Amino acid sequence: MSEVKAKEVLTVGMFFKHEYDFGSTTTLKLTVMDKYRGASAKDPITLPARNEIEDYRCSNCGKKAEYACMENEYGDFTYLCEDCVDKFEDDDLFIFRITNSPRMGVCGYEGELDTYQLY
How many whole angstroms separate alpha carbon 110 and alpha carbon 97? 7
Instruction: Collapse the DSSP code of 28 into the 3-class scheme (helix H, G, I; strand E, B; otherwise coil) and give the result.
Output: strand
Question: pLDDT value at position 39?
Answer: 62
SS3 content of the chain, % helix, strand, coil (to 5): 10, 25, 65
Question: pLDDT value at position 69?
Answer: 84
Mean of per-residue pLDDT scores for the chain: 76
Average pLDDT over residues 12-27: 81
- Kindly report the backbone phi and psi dihedral angles of residue 8, in degrees, each rounded to the nearest multiple of 5, phi listed first: -80, -20
How many whole angstroms separate alpha carbon 103 and alpha carbon 112? 11
Confidence of residue 110 (pLDDT cuts 50, 70, 90): low
67-70 vs 95-97, strand pairing mode: antiparallel
Q: ∠105-110-111 over CA atoms, to 5°?
A: 125
pLDDT digits (tens, 9 = 90+) for 45-93: 556 666 777 899 999 999 999 998 876 666 678 899 999 988 876 656 6
Query: What is the reported pTM?
Result: 0.57
Query: Position 94: which residue type?
Result: F
